Amino acid sequence: MVRAPSPHRLAPRKQAHPEEQARFESFLRTRQLKYTGERRALLDAVFASKHHFDADSLHLALRQKGQEISRATVYRTLDLLVQCGLVRKQSLGDQHAHYEAVHGDEHHDHLICMNCNRIIEFYRPDLEAMQEAICEEFEFKPLHHSLQIFGLCKLCQAKGVDGLELATRVSQLHA
């Protein structure tokens, strides 16, 4: 099934994600947990995927790479990765959780197209600052936040998708 890898090419960082792996290992060690093959595979798969994913598609992706890992373990490991701060868990209007790998300290919010389901990520320091200001005003100590804007992306507007038609679905959103 798999083409034999060219032995001539330099192995481009064979160790999939060394930094994340190190962080996960140390996280596990401090809790006397074990770095098993399944956990390694999960970590790799998570950091291989560029954007949002859900538990099921991750499970499927692993299976397609020949990694047989049970759903239960997928959930359990995702949980560890979340606790460890390597993964973020979010609700994006669906009835199931979405996850995304955290690269560095980067944070972003989402524009979600209600027609094609495309998710556009953005980060605006001034928006973050304004949120900080609001929290100060309420003497509220923020630890985390989540902003999602639902609507129509440029392409879907061009396609002439009817905003009103979607208006009904807007209110149905579970977010």
Partner DNA sequence: GTTGATGCAAACTATTTGCAGGCAG
Partner DNA sequence: CTGCCTGCAAATAGTTTGCATCAAC
What is the token pair recorded at 75? 């959930």
CB atoms within 10 A of CB 153: 19
Look at the chain and count its residues: 175
- Give CA–CA dist 154/163, Å, rounded: 12
> What pairs with residue 119 in β-bridges?
112
Question: Among 32, 143, 160, 162, which residue interacts with its own copies (rule: CB under 8 A)?
Answer: 143
Q: Tell me: does residue 3 bind its own copies (CB under 8 A).
A: no
Alpha helices in 4-67 (DSSP H): 18-30, 37-48, 55-64
Question: Among 9, 13, 34, 50, which residue interacts with DNA (rule: CB under 7 A)?
Answer: 34
Question: Among 72, 143, 158, 164, which residue interacts with DNA (rule: CB under 7 A)?
Answer: 72
Q: Tell me: does residue 83 bind its own copies (CB under 8 A).
A: yes
**What is the binding site for its own copies (CB under 8 A)?**
79, 82-83, 85, 87-91, 93, 97, 111, 113-114, 120, 122, 124, 126-127, 130-131, 134-135, 138-154, 157, 163, 166-168, 170-175
